[in-house]
Each structure stands twice: as C-alpha cells, then as structure tokens.
C-alpha cells in the first residue's frame, strides 16, 4: 500500500509540473532577443584572445502572472567531437577557461523593441553551474561531448509579466581568452550547438511556471550549422529545469 501511495504522489507531482508549463522560449546570438536579432550561426576565426560573443534567452507566458521573483534556465551544449574540448570548459575550478563564461540579467541597453525586461529597475543577481560528464552531478546522460549550463536568477522585488509578451531573461557571454598563443585552450574551431531546453519562473508564493515550448528558435550553432547537434530535440524539456520552490524570504536574503 505504501508503495502505491508513493507512486501516486509521484504521478500527481509530475502532472502538476506538466500542467504548470504554460509558456515558450527563444534563443539567439547577439544582444537582443530572437525577434530583434534572429541569428542562428556564429563563426570565429579563432585568431584572437580579445573579444567576446553573447546569446540571449527570452520567454513568454501564455497568461498574465504576478509575483515573479526569479527564474531557472537550462541551456544544453553539444560539440561535434568525441569529448568536450578545453576551450569549452568553463566555471568549474581548474577548468581551462574557468572565468570565460558569464551571465547578465541587465537589459537596460538592449533594443527593447520586441522584448522587454521582466524586472525593470529592480536589482537582480545570477549564478551559473556548468555540468559536464566529470562533474558532480554530471551532465544528463554523462556524454563526454555534452555540457549543461544551469542559470539561477533572482530579483530583489517581485514583478508581473503580461501573457503574450516576450521578455528578456538572460544574456550569456563567453570571451575569447586563451584561444591562441602560449597557454591556449584547444577546441575553439570545434562545431557546437546550444539549446535552450527550458525555463522555470519562480513566483513569490513558492510556485513555478514553466516555459519550454519553442516560440521561434531554441537552438544556435557555433562555427558550423549542424542541426543534428540540437539536442534535446526542439520541443522543450521542462523536466530538465530545476524544480525549486524557494520562499520569498529565502529569495530576499540574497540581497541582505
């Protein structure tokens, strides 16, 4: 009986999680959202250590929602190689380009034509996790050619979003440090694809609203357009998004 109850509770949780999914996402290269800069492919000659490139993830809910205080976003990466090269090793202590990946929630200088800021004028913070086949926990599937970027965002005050309106969520950037010359990290020329698998919007009441369905585009490519690397397949993967339900007090404590 106990096992049946546990299974039933798990099914209820999954049903609730699925029912909460009520939005879509976009991913594009550049400083604006997909509608402002619909760029799928980015190339680089790997001939400089200076400079950087950015991508923007955005979301849309199908209905109005109040009290949005943060978000979790999952970006999956796969390279066209047997293993993830050193050039694509970020964040984790001792990785070849440990400090070359960063995130920003500031869109005050973005075009603001087709997408809008979810927390205009409100202080925000973000943290990044970079999961690979060798991290704990590992990237899903533990494939040595994949990595998963998990972004956690928090806002100092809640905000409301309007259904049917697209909002910027994050700008993810990586620079070109250690691309060439002494101390270079090999692998800049390796073809790669990044997929925005899903977004979980955290509410003040502790609930989570999910946005996972592609609005227009969720996969971008590096160096060469290779649709076979767009995994997980476009269609969204809400199950990949961390199911965090923080209290409002826990979110606000980040700013004390």
Q: For residues 127-136, give the mean pLDDT.
A: 94
Could you tell me if residue 145 is inside a domain? Answer: yes
Residue 12 has pLDDT above 60, yes or no: no
3 within some domain: no
Neighbours of 80 (CB within 10 A): 16
Domain membership of residue 204 (yes or no) is yes
pLDDT score recorded for residue 235 = 54
- Distance CA(211)–CA(241), nearest Å, equals 10
Q: Which of 111-115, 140-144, 173-177 comes out lowest in average pLDDT?
A: 140-144
Task: Supply the pLDDT for residue 137.
Answer: 85
d(CA 250, CA 256): 11
Domain annotation covers residue 51: yes
Q: Is residue 133 part of a domain?
A: yes
The answer to the question of residue 8 being in a domain is no
What is the C-alpha separation between 160 and 112, in angstroms, rounded? 17
- Pairwise CA distance, residues 132 & 148, whole Å: 7
- Quick: pLDDT tens for 48-95: 999 999 999 999 999 999 999 999 999 999 999 999 999 999 999 999
Range of the domain at 239: 21-255
Instruction: Give domain status of residue 138, yes or no.
Output: yes
Give the count of domains, the chain.
Answer: 1
- Residue 154 inside a domain? The answer is yes
% of the chain at pLDDT higher than 90:
74
């Amino acid at each position: 009986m106990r096992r049946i109850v546990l299974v039933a509770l798990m099914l209820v949780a999954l049903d609730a999680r699925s029912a909460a999914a009520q939005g879509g996402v976009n991913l594009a290269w550049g400083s604006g959202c997909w509608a402002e800069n619909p760029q799928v492919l980015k190339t680089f000659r790997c001939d400089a250590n200076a400079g950087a490139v950015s991508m923007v993830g955005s979301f849309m809910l199908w209905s109005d929602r109040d009290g949005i205080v943060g978000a979790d976003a999952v970006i999956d990466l796969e390279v066209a190689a047997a293993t993830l090269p050193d050039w694509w090793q970020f964040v984790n202590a001792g990785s070849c380009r440990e400090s070359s990946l960063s995130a920003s929630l500031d869109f005050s200088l973005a075009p603001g034509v087709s997408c809008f800021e979810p927390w205009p004028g409100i202080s925000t913070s973000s943290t990044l996790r970079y999961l690979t086949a060798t991290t704990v926990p590992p990237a899903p599937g533990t494939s040595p050619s994949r990595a998963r970027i998990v972004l956690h965002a928090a806002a100092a005050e809640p905000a409301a979003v309007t259904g049917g309106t697209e909002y910027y969520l994050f700008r993810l950037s990586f620079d070109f440090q250690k691309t060439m010359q002494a101390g270079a990290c090999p692998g800049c020329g390796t073809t790669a694809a990044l997929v925005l698998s899903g977004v979980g919007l955290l509410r003040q009441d502790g609930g989570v609203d999910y946005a996972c369905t592609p609005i227009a585009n969720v996969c971008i490519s590096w160096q060469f357009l290779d649709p076979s690397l767009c995994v997980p397949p476009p269609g969204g993967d809400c199950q990949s998004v961390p199911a965090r339900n923080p209290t409002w007090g826990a979110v606000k404590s980040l700013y004390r």
